[in-house]
Structures are given as C-alpha cells and as structure tokens.
Structure 1
Amino acid sequence: MSRVGHHIKAALHQIHSIAGLVLALLLALIALTGSIMSFEDEIGDYMNSAIMQVAPRQAPALMPDELVARLKAEQDLGKVSAVTLSSDPAAAVRVRFARDEQGARPTSLYVDPYDAHVLGAPRGEEFFATVRRLHRWLLIPGDAKGWGRQITGIAALGLMVMLISGLVLRWPRRAASVKMWLKPNLGLSGRGLHRSLHAVIGTWVLPVYLVMTLTGLWYSFDWYKDGVVWLLSRPHVAAAKMQPKQPRAAGRSEPAQPVGFDLAWSTHRREEGDRFSKALLTLPAGPGTVIRIRSWPKDSTLDTTRDEFRVDAVTGQVISAERYADKTLGEKIIANVFDIHRGAFLGWPGKLAFMIAAALMPLFSVTGILLYLSRRRLRRPAQQPLGRLVPGE
C-alpha cells in the first residue's frame, strides 16, 4: 500500500472509531426498538383475535355516525378522530380517538358494527406506541416536532459514514474470495475474535443497514424527503407533495355542524364497490370538511399498498383520488418507504432478516468498544523500570 493510501486508511479508521464511540449506545437503542416492532401487526392480530371478529348477522351494519353516537352515549371517551371499517361482515370496527388537552391519546377500541357494543381495547397498543416513540423520537417531548427527530437522523447519517468507512477498511487483499468476506474465524480469541466478528458479521448485515438508513432518513429530514420525491416522482406529483403545509389560521372556528363520516363513507362504497378490504376514515385535524380515506384493496399484501382519497364530508364530492395502481415505479417506491424500511416488501422472510440484523446492532457496539480499548492498551508505552533506590546497589 502506498504512503498516501496508508494515510487515507488511517484517517478513515479514526473517523469510523470516533463515530462508533459517539453513536454506539444510541444506534443500539434505535435498532433494538426497531426489531421489537418488526412483527407488531402479527403480534397484535394474535393477541386481539378475540375482539377483532364478530358473528355476521342478517341486519345491516350501523352507519359510522350512528355507531359513534351510540358509543358516546354509553361512555365519554373523548373526541373520535378516525374509524376503520371493513367490507368483511365479520370484522369489528376500530375506533380511534384524538389527543386530549394534555397531549395524551386514549387507547382505541374495537366495536361491534351491528350494535356499537364495545368488544375491548387492543392489548399491546400502548406498549408498541411507546416503543415507536422511543425508536423515532427517543421519547423527547414534542415527538415529530421535537429534537428527537433530528437526533435520530444524525445517528442515521453517522451510521452511513460507518458503513462506508467500514467497507473500505474491511476490503481484503483477495476481494474475490467469498471465504475472506463471509466466514468469521471462530478459532481466535480476544482482540482477534472481536475483530473477526465485527468485520465479517458487519459484512453480512451491511446491505440491510444501508436500506434501513436510506429509508430511515426519510422520516428525519424534510430536505432528504423532498429530494427523494423530486428524484422519483413525476413533476406534477412532486410539486404537489412538496407544497409546504399551511399553518392553521388563528381565530378560525370549527364548522357550525360537526363533520361526520356517513357521506364520505357512502361515497367510498359507491366508488369502490367490493374491491376494498378495509378503509380508514380520518376526520380533519383542524377546521375543514375534507375527510381522508385510506383504502386497502383485497389483493393488498403490504400496509403501504393502498389507495388514498379525499372526500368532502358535507357534499360527498371526491376532492382527490390517488390510486396505487396508477403510480410510477418511483412513486410506488416512495409509497412503500415504510415497508422497505422494515423489510416487509420481501414478505415475512424479509421482516425476519431485518429484525435479526437490527437485533445484532449491540454486537457491533460491544465489539467496537472492546477493539478501541484493546487498541489503546497496545499503544500505551511500556512502563520504564524503576530506578535503584540506593546508588551503587
């Protein structure tokens, strides 16, 4: 290796070590919480299977406004913000609530669609909500509007630096040798074993970490998100998505009549027929009458493979319709960022692989710190022998 190459590699080693020491614990925390959420949907469905289904009946299901009215008549649970309705007559309705004045969100409820009887609150919802806030925002006040979003983004950028520098430092002399790349030397001990595990297992998970990092930055930095949208979307779609959100005007009051779900729900059923499996109807957060409807086709296998509509709750007019099938490849990638981030785009094997890779992050934190400490010991100068106490002895 030339002298210049040696200096470059030494600089990269220093950058890799400093970034790793600074971010070791933070990256381990983010990765472990991500691995916990990998099979959140499957765990939730298993734990709550008893309250997610009802016995189908001959009588028609209640319209959502009537269902909400009956629910409120039984108990005051706060303001309803969204309902999830299904084309399956045996599926329960899920009712979600808005945050209260303290910023807390009441747990959602599963409700019988035929008589508005409360079937129960989903178990595990609060636990996974806390894990999600820890993963995304480190439980820092303000959630997406606080500093936690930027901190996790900086950690993702640091991981990207470590992945690139680690790959350069890892590059073996025999780059074509699969054994050199992928087989750890378990016969070693101490520093040699730590280095082998750190480098070889790091090579195994490097593609997964790259995908996690590139998609994770989407949720941390608006400039990154806007850049991806500009790069992958058609010009008119990118222009619409990159429009800044309008701040709520002070002094604007709520509509004279409360916004309901019924007209938007009727419009959706008329437009979609029996092509959808379930639909999430969300009321506007502030003043306005436009309801957002996320609709999942019956052949959808991913949470992000869905159509999205906006319907005026007063007139029933469809304001906009964004169908997944009409998107370009780049726009489908954007729509599936979340499922790409967690490996779900590869099915359950992908989710399992991403979960294992995330769970391995503490291994790199531990072995990296051990390698740094052992390197410090090796660089420490040997202790000089003590001088003789008595001259001449």
Structure 2
Amino acid sequence: MSKSSIKAALLQVHSVIGLVLALLWAVVGVSGATMAFEDEIQAALNRDVMRVDASAARRLTPDELVARLQTAGDFGKVSAVTMASDPTAAARIRFARSEGGTRPSSVYVDPYDGHLLGSPRGGEFFATVRKVHRWLLLPGDGNGYGRKITGAAAICLIVMLISGLVLRWPHRARSVRTWLKPNLSLRGRGLHRSLHAVIGTWVLPVYLVTALTGLTYSYEWYKAGASWLLARPSATAATMPSKAPRRAADAAKADASAEAKPLGFDRVWSTFLEQQGDRYGRALLTLPAGTGTVVRVRSWPRGSSLDTARDEFRIDAVTGRLASADIYADKTFGERVLASVLDIHRGAILGWPGKLVFMLAAALMPLFTVTGLLLYLSRRRHRRLARPPVATLVPGE
C-alpha cells in the first residue's frame, strides 16, 4: 500500500469520526473549560459565607456545629462536615439525599458559635455543568450509558489526534514555522486548513493528556490497568495495622450503641487530630452511606492547591479506633500519579498556569468542529466540480 493511499484512508477515518463526534467534543470541551476555575469562582462568589472574623474563642466540634444547626431548622440528615485550621474559614455541612433522590444544598456555619451563614451560590450551576461534562446529562448519571459514551469519545479523540498528526506531517518536518505558525494571509479553505492543523498541533499534548486521564472515569478495566501498571501490588489492600482486637462484649456494646443513636463525628475528630495535629489545612468527615460505623476523613495540607494531594483516614465513629490510613507522602511516584489523575486531567498539577492552558485548549474545541466541517464541505464541493461531465444524448441521435 502506497503512502498516498494510507493517507487517503486516514483522512477518511479522520473525517468520518470527526463528523460524528465533533458536536459532542465541543460540548465536553466547553463544559470542561467552564469548570477550570470553579474553586476560584466559588470563593469569589461566596466570600461572605465562606469567611468569618477570627476569634480567640474555642471553635466548636463537628457534633456541636451540627447540634446548633439543627436548632435553627430542619435541613435534613447530615452526611458530611468540612473543618478547617484557618481561623477565618467557615465550617461546611453537607446533607444526605432525600428519599426522592435530591440532595439539599450544603450550608456554611460559623465555627465559633454555629450560627448559619448561608448556602453557597453557584453550586447548582457547576453541578449541572459537571454532569454535562461527565455523562451528558443522560439518565443514570455515573451509572448510566452517558459515562460510556464520553469514554468512547475519548478513545476516538486519541485516534483523531494520531491520524491528524500523520496527515499534517510536512515535507520539512524540522521547520518550526511550518508546525506552529498559522498562515493568516490565506483565505477560505486554505485558512481553515491552516487554523485546523496548526492550532491542533498546539493543543495536541493537552488533548492527549485529558483523553488518557478521562478514560479512568469511564471504564473500570482502564482504571484497573493503570493501577496494575503504576501501583504497588499491595497498595490497594494496604491498611494501617490495627490495635488489639476488641473483646466480644465490647463489640456488642459498640454495635448496640450505634443502633441506639445516630453516628456522630466527635470521636472521629479527636482521633484525626491525634494523627494529624496541626498539619492539616482542611478536613472532610463523611459518614458511611450504609449501616457501617467507619467514617472516611480526607485531609488536605495547609496551602495545598491540589484536590488530590490528600491523606485519607478511616475511623470508627463508635470507638474512635483508626481502621486505616492512606498517607500521600508515603505513596510511590506511580501511586501519586494515580491519586492525582483529576489534577492532571484539568492541568491543576502545573498550578494556575496549567489550569489556564488546559482551559483555553478545551475552549478551542468548537473551533475544530467548525473548521473541520468547513473543510469537509469544501472537499465535497471540490470533488463534485472535478468530476467529468456526464454526456447526454440529444433527441434524435
């Protein structure tokens, strides 16, 4: 097979996949760009409810905060509490889903006296954008088929990146100008091709990273394969050594206590402080969704801007016993990569400049939808005009 025939076949594959998925990629790209600086936007919108005046008074424990909030009204069953070491940061309380499947908006409370500060603005908007980005607002959310569609689109995007790179490989491959400078003096099809090819080269590394990391959220087999490749064999089963087993009577007493009243946070909080001291910057305590008694605690260090660079503890809410601890600093390089997939996916691993670059690349996705469609229509028109005219018979001949 000749080089020209291979390129012709690749162009056909590139065109067909692009026509089918261009609009979907544009939606995913724009929604991803919208979420790039979500944390910063939320902080700016909700400064009045997220910040308090520092005080010398003792800050309330998680259970005390929940009790104060419940006296202010019926907000629903509490599912999680976020505590911060910053004396000017408000505490955040989240609620469990109702029987209808809806989740009430979380609220911020003053950590010193527990009075209600308000609900964050913009949360519902970003939650909807996130659903669009991850599963296209299709039924079932993360358990539906929207997740598989976006995963298939990510695989096809990798095919598009590779085929596009091969198709635009120039005769003067070492010419930086050919690769990276669009020819804005052109018009029509030439300009569309230049923009499509050159800007596509600019964003190719970003799109490749986002596609490869995004697949971990769509396919369990891909996530398992990445874990097998990067993590230690015992990493998923590693737990902190537990203390001596409790006697049967103590266990029965703890189970009876758990059934007698709802789980609280204070014993978990005390154990967590014993483990972390003042090293934490923010901690999220999440009650179990089922009937268990083990609370998950996620802890971010002071000054950390990465969402995935965190320690994770599991602590029994009844006994205060530490069940396990997963310390970020103890991870190997491969395990840190796995833990940081989300930050890599959105460019946050490189700080705000990385987030800005990834945001701009995602926002440019509609450009390829438009220029790709224009190039396809131009090729069709060119082929139609290049066809030899069909001879017609004159009546009587």
- TM score, norm. by length of structure 1: 0.93
One-letter amino acid of the structure 1 residue matched with residue 15 of structure 2:
S
One-letter amino acid of the structure 2 residue matched with residue 287 of structure 1:
T
1:232 matched to which residue of 2? 230
Give how far 1:351 is off. 0.5
CA contact (8 A) 1:150 1:221 kept: yes
1:149 matched to which residue of 2? 147
1:193 matched to which residue of 2? 191
Tell whether 2:346 aligns with 1:348: no
One-letter amino acid of the structure 1 residue matched with residue 87 of structure 2:
P
Change (3 A) 1:5 1:203: same
One-letter amino acid of the structure 2 residue matched with residue 27 of structure 1:
W
- Between 254-263 and 152-161, the greater mean CA deviation after superposition: 254-263
Q: How does 1:1-393 map to 2 (within 5 A)?
A: 4-238=2-236, 255-380=259-384, 381=387, 384=390
Change (3 A) 1:367 1:240: farther
In structure 2, C-alpha distance between the alignment counterparts of 1:255 and 1:330, rounded to whole Å? 41
One-letter amino acid of the structure 1 residue matched with residue 158 of structure 2:
M
Task: Describe the superposition over 1:161-213 as per-residue Cα deviations: whole angstroms up to 9, x where unpaired.
Answer: 10011111111111111011111111111111111111010000000000000
In structure 1, C-alpha distance between the alignment counterparts of 2:86 and 2:26, rounded to whole Å? 41
Give how far 1:78 is off. 1.1
Give how far 1:73 is off. 2.1
In structure 2, C-alpha distance between the alignment counterparts of 1:96 and 1:170, rounded to whole Å? 51
In structure 1, C-alpha distance between the alignment counterparts of 2:198 and 2:110, rounded to whole Å? 53
In structure 1, C-alpha distance between the alignment counterparts of 2:236 and 2:162, rounded to whole Å? 30
Structure 2 unmatched runs, 5+: 240-255
Give how far 1:81 is off. 0.8
- TM score, norm. by length of structure 2: 0.92
In structure 1, C-alpha distance between the alignment counterparts of 2:327 and 2:179, rounded to whole Å? 44
One-letter amino acid of the structure 1 residue matched with residue 55 of structure 2:
R
Q: Secondary structure at 1:115's aligned position in 2?
A: coil
In structure 2, C-alpha distance between the alignment counterparts of 1:55 and 1:183, rounded to whole Å? 52
One-letter amino acid of the structure 1 residue matched with residue 199 of structure 2:
I
In structure 2, C-alpha distance between the alignment counterparts of 1:47 and 1:33, rounded to whole Å? 19
One-letter amino acid of the structure 1 residue matched with residue 71 of structure 2:
A
Change (3 A) 1:60 1:103: same
- Between 352-361 and 103-112, the greater mean CA deviation after superposition: 103-112
Q: Secondary structure at 1:292's aligned position in 2?
A: strand
1:244 matched to which residue of 2? none
Task: Describe the superposition over 1:211-257 as per-residue Cα deviations: whole angstroms up to 9, x where unpaired.
Answer: 0001100110000000001100011014569xxxxxxxxxxx98443
One-letter amino acid of the structure 1 residue matched with residue 35 of structure 2:
M
In structure 1, C-alpha distance between the alignment counterparts of 2:238 and 2:370, rounded to whole Å? 45
In structure 1, C-alpha distance between the alignment counterparts of 2:3 and 2:354, rounded to whole Å? 38
In structure 1, C-alpha distance between the alignment counterparts of 2:329 and 2:303, rounded to whole Å? 12
In structure 1, C-alpha distance between the alignment counterparts of 2:147 and 2:126, rounded to whole Å? 18
Task: Describe the superposition over 1:285-309 as per-residue Cα deviations: whole angstroms up to 9, x where unpaired.
Answer: 1110000000011142311111110
CA contact (8 A) 1:140 1:147 kept: yes
In structure 2, C-alpha distance between the alignment counterparts of 1:386 and 1:110, rounded to whole Å? 80
Identity over aligned pairs, percent = 65
One-letter amino acid of the structure 1 residue matched with residue 62 of structure 2:
P
One-letter amino acid of the structure 1 residue matched with residue 358 of structure 2:
F
Give how far 1:4 is off. 2.1
One-letter amino acid of the structure 2 residue matched with residue 336 of structure 1:
S
1:248 matched to which residue of 2? none
Task: Describe the superposition over 1:18-72 as per-residue Cα deviations: whole angstroms up to 9, x where unpaired.
Answer: 1100100000000000000000000011111111111223331221112112212
One-letter amino acid of the structure 2 residue matched with residue 159 of structure 1:
L
Root-mean-square deviation (Å): 1.8
Q: How many residue pairs get matched? A: 378
Change (3 A) 1:215 1:28: same
Q: Secondary structure at 1:236's aligned position in 2?
A: coil
Change (3 A) 1:117 1:177: same
- Between 341-350 and 100-109, the greater mean CA deviation after superposition: 100-109
